[in-house]
Structure 1
Amino acid sequence: MEKIAHRNISVNGISMHVAEIGEGPPVLFLHGFPELWYSWRHQMLYLSSMGYRAIAPDLRGYGDTDAPASASSYSTLHIVGDLVALLDALALDQVFLVAHDWGAIIAWYFCLFRPDRIKALVNTSVAFQLWNPSIKPLQALRETFGDAYYMCRFQEPGEAEEGFAQADTAKVMKTFFSSRNPSALCLPKGKELGAIFENPLLTVPSWLTEEDVNYYASKFNQTGFTGGLNYYRALDLSWELSAPWRGLQIKVPVKFIVGDLDLTYHMPGVKEYIHNGGFKKDVPNLEVVVMEGVAHFLTQEKPEEISAHIYNFIKKF
C-alpha cells in the first residue's frame, strides 16, 4: 500500500484526489457509495504487478476530492466531466474502465457520452439502466417501492446525514459492508434512518479489517456523507440532462459481474433484463458473470477473483 502514490489534480473546476500505482496501459477505477478510491486497493496492487497503470480517484464529493455544496452539481454530466478532464490532465487518450455501484452508473454514462475514451469496461453490481423516458426515476422508485425506499429517504437534505450522525461512523461502514440481505432496503417514515445501524447481530465479514474500517471512517468523519448522498439527489436531474443520449447502445466491450446476493440483482425486472436478452440488446459486446454466494461489495469480498476477471478481460485488447 505504501507504494501507491497520491496527488490532487485540478479538473472541471474542482480538486480531485487520485491514487496511482504502476506503469503500462492505464486502468481507471470508479468507486461507489459509501466508498473511496481505497475500495480498489487489492485490484490496484494486482494489476500494477501485471504491467498496468492503476488510477483510482475519490469521486466528486468523496474523501480528499472537493465536494460542491449543491446537489445540482452531482449530475452524471458533472461526474463524467470530471473524469474526462482527469484523463486530459494525465494526457491519456483512452483507458480501461473498471467500476462498482454508483461508479458503475457513472461508467455506463461515460461509455454513452464519450465512448472514444474507453477501450473496454469491466462493470460490477449495477446493470445498464434505461430509465423510462416518460417518468422521472424518483417517481418510478416511489411507485415501485414506496416512500420508505432508501433512495427516496435520501432525498431530503440533512435527513440521512442526521441519521448517519446518530451512529459511530465505523459502525456505519461496518453495517453497509456487512449487508448480505438482497431484499429492497426500506425504512418507513417515522423510523429514524439511524436505526439501520443499530443491529446487535451484526457480523463483520472476515475480509474487512479494523484498519480498513478506520480508513473509511476517518475520511467520512472529515467530509460527512452529503457528497455521496447528492448523487441520489441528482437522479432526476441526470435523467433530464441525459435525454439526448437515450436509446443509444453501449458499443464498447463490456464484462459485467454481479453477486447473486447483491440487492441490485434482485430489483424488479433486473434478472430478466440480464438473462433474457434485454441487456445484450443494449450492450451488444457483453459478457456476464454471476458470482454465487457473493453480496454487493464484491470487489472487496472476493478481491482475487475480481482482479482475475478484470485482467483476463482487458488483456484481450
Structure 2
Amino acid sequence: MAYRTVLVVLFDGVQSLDVTGPVEVFTGADTYAGEPGATYRIHTASLDGAPVRTSSGLTVVPDHALAEAPAPHTLLVPGGRGTRGPDPRVIDWLREHGPRADRLVSVCTGAILLAEAGLLDGRRVTTHWAYCDRLARDHPAIEVDPDPIYVRDGHVATSAGVTAGIDLALALVEEDLGRDAALSVARYLVVFLRRPGNQAQFSAQLSAQTARREPLRQVQHWITEHPGDDLCVESLAARARLSPRHFARAFQSETGMTPGRYVDTVRLEHARRLLEDTTDGVEQIARASGYGTPEAMRRAFIRTLGAPPAEYRRRFHTTQTS
C-alpha cells in the first residue's frame, strides 16, 4: 500500500486542535494498518523551521522549514489567530507550492490563507461560521457556504471550526482506505464516524445555549435522546418539576429558544441523520423523529430545508458519491 505524505503548515497563532485533530486521525490510520508510516507520513513545517506558539500558548516544534519540506500529497493548512494578518511569505509559499499538491485541505480559518494565495477562486468552500462573511466579502471569486461542517470541491477540501477538521480528516481516510479504516480510527478517538459534510455547523445543541439550571439541562438532554416521545410543554415541564408557564419562560430565558422551537430543531436534525445514515423508510423515520405522520415531516423539511425528505435523501447521497 503506497503511503501519502501529509504536510501541515505551521505559523505563530495557529489553533492547536486544527493541527492535532487531523494529525491524530491520519496517524490512527497507521495504527489500523498495523505499521507506522504505511498509510500516511506526517510532516510539519513552519516558515523558517523555528518553533511556533499556538493560540492557546502551546509551543510546537516543526519537522522542517517550508523551503525544505517534502512535496506533499495532502497539504493541510490549519486556522487560528495567526491567519489574521499572516506573514506574506507564507502566502507566497502557498501560492507557489499549493497547486502542486494532489489535495488541498484547510481547517477553520486556514481557508483564509488559501484564499489569499488565490487557491480557492471559483470554488465552493466553507470556514468557521464567524469568518464566512469576511471570506466572501474579501474574495468575491469564491462561493462561501456558511452552513456545512466541511465542503469538497474537486481536490480542495475546506472545513468549519476546530473539531470539523477531525470530521473532514475521517472523510479523507474513508476515501483513501475505506470505511472500516475510518470507523476504526473514529472508535479509537471516541468520535462519531462521521458527521456528514452537509451537517449544519449549528446543531440543535449548538444553536441553543446550555441552560444554567440542572433540571432544564436534563430536559434538553432528554429531548435530544427521545425525539419521538411526547415533548409538549406540559410533559417537559413535569419532567423539570415546574409549572408549564414557569418552565416555558425559564427555558427560553436560559437557552434563547422556546421549548417548541428547540424540539422542532432536534427532530429535524434527528430525521436528517436517519435519512443520511440508514435505509429506513420515510414513514418509519417520521415516527422515530416524533413527527407522527410523513406529511408533518414533509412540511417541516420543505419549510426549513426547501426539499421533501425523499428529495433531501437523494441529494445527500448524490453529493456523497460525486
TM-score, with structure 1 as normaliser: 0.27
More helix by share: 2
Which has more radius of gyration? 2
TM-score, with structure 2 as normaliser: 0.26
Between the two structures, name the one with larger relative contact order (CA 8 Å, sep ≥ 6).
1
